[in-house]
């Protein structure tokens, strides 16, 4: 069976839209233009895939929305959200950290409630006990990947710093290169990169989503937009939830989309899907336990002691309305 061409499908959708516009003009019917919105994302990855599916399947268009997705660094994206240069933000961690410090933004739909990271090791690491005395690479000090490294090490019965060395080696592609070069012995890495690494002969030691509930992705908006453009936000939430449901209910087509979007082989996409699909939410909400863990980590990084109410960080009211 021939695999679908998603660029062709997107071109067909555009052609249909143009034809519909011409029909409306010729028939004298009023033309209703779509609302244009901009969604910011920190990178191309599996974490944003419900939104990607919603774009490719036309779910945002069904809501009368025209979506532009732009990639920008998380810290810049938060500022762009506040200034109104973007309308929605897919950088869950940065959004929650900003909200903890009092920035008026909230997450309105959750996508991945658990990490999408795999602890990958060099070939000579035959089992977790072989990690003792070895070096683990992370992207930054006190970041999510650093935290996940420490969770994994303790899961195996070791103590960070005492039994293993943790060093900063950069983003996922850089850490994978360091692994190949032997500069590090293991690293928690995005599941799509991990599948590539496995094909190169590296070992999978642990999928972090199996052992910890730490949210990884969702969509955030400003408090002002939530108050003044609630219907638009609701449309975005509804379309995104449809994207999540499609992922869970349509394995074969989702795998094809993953392969196309992340530029990995169909086999790697299938492994990534099967490893990570349970990390994605069923109902668009993140548990209080998961959010509280995020808050705890943020407070530790910022040396904060003030209690933070969850109502300052998330608003699930639209998700609940849609479910009714």
Q: How far apart are CA 16 and CA 37, in angstroms?
A: 21
Asked if residue 220 lies in contact with residue 51, where contact means CB atoms within 8 angstroms, the answer is no
Q: What is the pLDDT of residues 117-136, one digit of tens each?
A: 999 999 999 999 999 999 99
Q: What is the pLDDT of residues 123-181, one digit of tens each?
A: 999 999 999 999 999 988 877 889 999 999 999 999 998 999 999 998 888 999 999 99
Q: Comparing 268 with 9, which gets the higher pLDDT?
A: 268
Query: Which pLDDT score, from 0 to 100, does residue 1 have?
Result: 41
Q: Which pLDDT band holds residue 111 (cuts at 50, 70, 90)?
A: very high
Query: Which pLDDT score, from 0 to 100, does residue 43 have?
Result: 85
Topology of the domain covering 33-114+214-323: D-Maltodextrin-Binding Protein; domain 2 (3.40.190)
Q: What is the pLDDT of residues 305-321, one digit of tens each?
A: 999 999 999 999 999 99
Query: Which pLDDT score, from 0 to 100, does residue 172 have?
Result: 84
Q: What is the pLDDT of residues 51-96, one digit of tens each?
A: 999 999 999 999 999 999 999 988 899 999 999 999 999 989 899 9
Fold agreement between 33-114+214-323 and 117-210: yes
Burial of 65 (0-12, 13-18, 19+ CB in 10 A): buried
Asked if residue 197 lies in contact with residue 120, where contact means CB atoms within 8 angstroms, the answer is yes
Residue 217 has pLDDT above 90, yes or no: yes
Q: What is the pLDDT of residues 225-260, one digit of tens each?
A: 999 999 999 999 999 999 999 999 999 999 999 999
Instruction: Give the domain ranges of the chain.
Output: 33-114+214-323, 117-210
What is the full DSSP assignment across 57-114? TTHHHHTTEEEEEEE--HHHHHHHHHHTS-SEE--HHHHHHHHHTT-SEEEEEEEESS
Query: Which pLDDT score, from 0 to 100, does residue 32 have?
Result: 53
**DSSP-derived 3-state class of residue 207:** strand
In terms of CATH, what superfamily is 117-210?
A: Periplasmic binding protein-like II (3.40.190.10)
- For the residues 258-267, what does the mean pLDDT come to? 94
Query: Which pLDDT score, from 0 to 100, does residue 171 have?
Result: 83
Residue 17 has pLDDT above 60, yes or no: no
Q: Which pLDDT band holds residue 3 (cuts at 50, 70, 90)?
A: very low
Query: Which pLDDT score, from 0 to 100, does residue 143 have?
Result: 79
The pTM of the full predicted model, rounded to 2 decimals, is: 0.83
Residue 29 has pLDDT above 70, yes or no: no
Asked if residue 61 lies in contact with residue 12, where contact means CB atoms within 8 angstroms, the answer is no
Query: Which pLDDT score, from 0 to 100, does residue 13 have?
Result: 42
């Amino acid at each position: 069976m021939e695999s679908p061409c998603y660029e062709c499908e997107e071109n067909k959708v555009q052609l249909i839209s143009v034809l519909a516009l011409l029909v409306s003009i010729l028939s004298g019917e009023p033309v209703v233009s779509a609302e244009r919105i901009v969604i910011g994302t920190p990178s191309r990855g599996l974490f944003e895939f419900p939104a990607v599916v919603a774009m490719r399947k036309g779910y945002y268009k069904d809501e009368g929305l025209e979506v532009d997705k732009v990639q920008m660094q998380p810290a810049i994206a938060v500022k762009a959200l506040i200034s109104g240069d973007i309308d929605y933000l897919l950088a869950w961690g940065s959004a929650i950290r900003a909200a903890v410090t009092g920035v008026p933004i909230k997450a309105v739909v959750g996508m991945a409630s658990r990490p999408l990271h795999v602890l990958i090791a060099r070939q000579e690491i035959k089992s977790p006990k072989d990690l003792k005395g070895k070096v683990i690479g992370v992207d930054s000090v006190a970041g999510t990947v650093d935290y996940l490294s420490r969770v994994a090490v303790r899961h195996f019965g070791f103590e960070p710093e005492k039994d293993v060395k943790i060093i900063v080696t950069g983003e996922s592609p850089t850490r994978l290169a360091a692994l190949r070069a032997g500069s590090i012995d293991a690293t928690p890495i995005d599941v799509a990169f991990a599948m590539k690494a496995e094909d190169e002969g590296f070992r999978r030691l642990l999928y972090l989503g199996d052992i910890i509930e730490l949210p990884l992705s969702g969509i955030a908006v400003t408090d002002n937009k939530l108050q003044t453009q609630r219907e638009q936000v609701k449309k975005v939430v509804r379309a995104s939830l449809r994207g999540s449901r499609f992922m869970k209910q349509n394995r074969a087509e989702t795998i094809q989309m993953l392969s196309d979007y992340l530029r990995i082989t169909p086999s790697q996409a299938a492994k990534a899907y099967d490893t990570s699909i349970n990390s994605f939410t069923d109902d668009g909400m993140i548990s209080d336990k998961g959010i509280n863990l995020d808050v705890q980590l943020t407070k530790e990084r910022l040396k904060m002691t003030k209690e933070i109410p969850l109502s300052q960080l998330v608003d699930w009211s639209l998700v609940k309305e849609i479910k009714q």
